[in-house]
Amino acid sequence: MTDPAPFDFDLFVIGGGSGGVRASRIAASEGGAKVGLAEESRMGGTCVIRGCVPKKLMVYAGAFPAQIEDARAYGWDVRAGAFDWPRFRSQLEAELTRLETAYRGTLANAGVQVLDTRATVSGAHQVLLADGRHISAKHILIATGGRPFVPNIEGADLAVTSNEMFHLDHLPKRALVVGGGYIACEFASLLHGLGVQVTLAYRGNAILRGFDSEARDHLAAAMAARGIDIRLNAEITALTRGAGGIEAALKSGGSLAADLVLYATGRIPNVAGLGLDALGVEIGPRGQIVVDDYSQTAVPSIFAVGDVTDRINLTPVAIREGHAFADTVFRGVPTKADHRDVASAVFTTPELGSVGLTEEQAAAQGRCDVYAASFRPMKTLFAGRNDRMLMKLIVDSVSQRVLGCHIVGEGAGEMIQLAAIAVKMGATKADFDATVAVHPTVAEELVTMRKPTRSVGNA
């Protein structure tokens, strides 16, 4: 007679987002582990259900009015009718359901047991489900992501967050977007594209903190030129509902009025109520779960990946971290997730793509050459628009290695993915120069900038 297995599962994952799903699938299908996964909401997490995917689809929807207007300049007799938000929302929900079903199918095919319930950690090898059941697991992975942060101000309940934006009954005529990060800027742009009058209020002196300053200034000017009212150094102290909508009081005096207020003031790790403190899992100053290079916490049997660790809060990073965890623990291949030179894109109008060091970061490390070109692209120039692209390379003055690449303009997200390969490989400026341009394209500027615009930093 054989002894029963010491644990119910080899791995139990809390959170069905991108990181948790990838870790579960690899551990089960390639690592031979018995895996359970608990998700209290919809499968797919922030990215699939209330983030990247629905946001990008709204970005696409908001781009059509300008495309139709440009088509007329190209000889097409077309007119834009009214935007049907309920129809779009229905289509959007159907697509999200399709993706969620696909996620569930992937997990089922891998042999992962999915439990649609909330789970908390009750011991180093114990998980407590909402229905009172106790589950034992040799390893526990926390992949609960992040949640929107809303400051504790009077009337905060009158605002919505990005979680609710895809389920509105109707689009507002006027929207106040509070925040200056990529989520705030993206929603400001896509709402404007859908015909909403948008004000973006940010308490800082420049949007997109952490991005290259020249690139973010270029983007801010482009957003303002399209009609978005950007208010900097504008801190909201209270929200009140009046006859004319929602009034947002400003710390500097005065107020802003809107029909809808969206708080996009950042996201924080989703650790509340998980029971980690009592177990000795270290929680960092930003509320994040502290992990080592292998995503292991201070409790050896407990790991964490994705936004809940607040390393780089991007879906592809969470996927890499989840995969590296599964390789390390269940495939016997110790793997660290590589967080260097991770590309990112801000899906505003126009887009911003970035990889590597900003000009400010590079200058702080040593002497570097900056190559930058700002120009009107052929496509919109012909249509009579004053849009301007920005292409920028940051190059180490000594080694001539390309340390960073920043693009603002249509298609920046697609272009930065390809440029990131060269930056990640350690390409030099000479490598870029040796690459023959594809003409006529906007991307050819990346390989035709011969002389630096300026040199910065100390030798």
Could you give the CA distance from residue 148 to residue 146 in angstroms, rounded to a whole number?
7
Could you give the CA distance from residue 11 to residue 30 in angstroms, rounded to a whole number?
13
Could you give the CA distance from residue 223 to residue 200 in angstroms, rounded to a whole number?
10
CB 78 within 8 A of CB 2: no
CB 45 within 8 A of CB 135: no
**Which position has the token pair 């020249």?**
214
Half-sphere exposure of 44 (CA within 13 A, CB side): 20
Q: Where are the beta strands (DSSP E) in 378-435?
A: 389-396, 402-408
Name which of 154, 149, 161 is nearest 251 in CA terms: 154
Q: Which two three-digit tokens encode residue 201?
A: 């209020």
Active site residues: 439
Q: Measure the N-to-C terminal CA separation of the chain; round to a whole number of Å.
A: 73
Q: Which two three-digit tokens encode residue 447?
A: 């390989």
Could you give the CA distance from residue 369 to residue 373 in angstroms, rounded to a whole number?
13
Q: How many CB atoms lie within 10 A of CB 47?
A: 23
